[in-house]
Structure 1
């Protein structure tokens, strides 16, 4: 009988020890999972905070690009864009005279690029009502408009939309 009591006490002790070990392991896993979740949450917050700061820091740069660099590029590209359109249309134009109408500040830039022979008469005219990024190519009854000002405006609007949308995302998490 004594031996049976000793064996029962040993099994009870062994079972209690085993249960304590399982509980300790479970508690450790719960603590580790909780710490890991907190670290991920902290890291996510840090990421969004850093992203917000980078976006805020980039916003003035992007606005300066849209305000100063893109208009200069558009001004320089206007003549090249007209030249490209003329080359593409040269077969369809035939012997018709072509008139290119631009803003007064673009006369020199456009005239300089059109010194080559296209096989049809070509003239450049200024129009005070046009902005610096606009040009009209007229031949016969056909007119093709080029409006880089509109493109720059669209780029600026898209940039502002991008910045505002990202600010909302960062603010809302």
Structure 2
């Protein structure tokens, strides 16, 4: 016999709850599947939302970069045109006129030789501005079978000449050519600047 009945019991008395009705395994499995589906759907929705946010962020950064790039390109193009403008002016006001003046006589002789092909028995004439006749005469080769007449006309300005071989005529006008080049350069720079301002 024990003495447990003599000692006082200080332990908590636990009440025994009535047993809950038994839950079937099928119901537990259905609840597990439903919980899995809900968790999977919630995770999928979070992933799709995160991907959409990332796409929006990347698109915004790309658009910003393209705008910066476009602005930088327009800025570079404008600076390039501004730096080329003085060079074009020097080219058309000094370099090209000097080069044309230096090669004017050679150009006349080359043009005359081209016109004379097949017409070697026709009279040939060169009309130049006053003071250019001697320079042109010195460049004429002896190979022409028909003598070439060189005369000066006060109506013509320097850099201007008329050539004739038989009934064929040709005009050489360096000033008109330079003016055409200047107009082309001005039109190019005008349109390029206009395009860079309006994109």
For the Cα contact (< 8 Å) 2:74–2:196, is it kept in 1? yes
Counterpart in the other structure of 2:42? 16
Determine if contact 1:137/1:145 at 8 Å carries over to the other structure: yes
Partner of 2:114: 88
The question of whether the paired residues in 2 share the 8 Å contact of 1:95 and 1:121 is answered with: no
Report the alpha carbon displacement of residue 115 of structure 1 after superposing the two structures with TM: 4.7
Which gives a bigger RCO, structure 1 or 2 (Cα 8 Å, sep 6+)?
Answer: 1
Instruction: Check conservation: 2:122, 2:165, Cα contact below 8 A.
Output: no
Q: TM-score with structure 1 length normalisation?
A: 0.86
Q: TM-score, normalised by structure 2?
A: 0.75
The 1:31–1:140 alpha-carbon spacing in structure 2 relative to 1, beyond 3 Å, is closer
1:26 maps to 52
Please list every run of 5 or more consecutive structure 2 residues that lacks an aligned counterpart in the other structure: 1-22
Match of 1:71 in 2: 97
Is 1:155–2:181 an aligned residue pair?
Answer: yes
Where in structure 2 are the equivalents of 1:51-66 lying within 5 Å?
51-66=77-92
2:119–2:166 CA contact under 8 A, matched in 1: no
C-alpha separation in 2, matches of 1:110 and 1:129: 18
**How far apart are the structure 2 equivalents of 1:6 and 1:95?**
111
Match of 1:107 among 133, 137, 142: 133
Equivalent pairs counted in the alignment come to 172
Corresponding residue for residue 122 of structure 1? 148
Aligned-CA RMSD value: 2.3
The offset of 1:36, in angstroms, is: 0.9
